[in-house]
Amino acid sequence: MLTVESTPTASDITTPLTPLTDSPEADVAKGIKGLQEDSPQSFWQRWQVEIKVFTSTFLTIFLAELGDKTQVTTLLMSAESQSPWTVFAGAGAALVLTSLLGVWVGCWMAKRVSAKILERSAGIILLLISVLLVWDVVQG
């Protein structure tokens, strides 16, 4: 009885493994791909992408936040009372935490939604933010 039960499980394990170790050529191709990814040129390219993302994110969010009056006033109000560095420490911790939460939610959604839908919805959201900013300017 035991041997009969054990044989199908053994075959279940071996059958999915066979397509993975397809051929030696596939392994060589994978190895070459891995080498290409680690080459200094692609490393530099990846670095460039990261710098590009960093600067575009930094500039737009920085300018949007500078225009945001509420934050400045709350900071100012509490800073006037006592030491500004304590206020900055508290505000800075809060800001890092909120952006961490934002990035976390974004990544969580990126795993669930297809890239095309995500790109389109992200574009619409950013467009809405810019419209909101223009609306603020028109109103103010």
Closer CB to another protein, 27 or 88, in the complex:
88
| Min dist. Cβ of residue 110 to another protein (A) | 4
For 84, other C-beta atoms within 10 Å of its C-beta total: 14
Shortest distance (Å) from residue 47 CB to another protein:
10
Let me know how many helices (H) and strands (E) the chain has, helices first: 6, 0
**Cβ(84)–Cβ(92) below 8 Å:** no
User: In whole angstroms, what is the distance from residue 49 CA to residue 41 CA?
Assistant: 12
Q: Which is nearer to another protein, 7 or 121 (CB)?
A: 121
**Which tokens sit at 32?**
């070459």
> Which residues neighbour 7 within 8 Å (Cβ) at sequence distance 6 or greater?
none
- Shortest distance, position 25 Cβ to another protein, whole Å: 26
- Please say which residue, 20 or 107, places its beta carbon nearer to another protein: 107
CB of 30 to another protein, least distance (A): 20
Nearer to another protein, 27 or 135 (CB): 135
One-letter identity of residue 18:
T
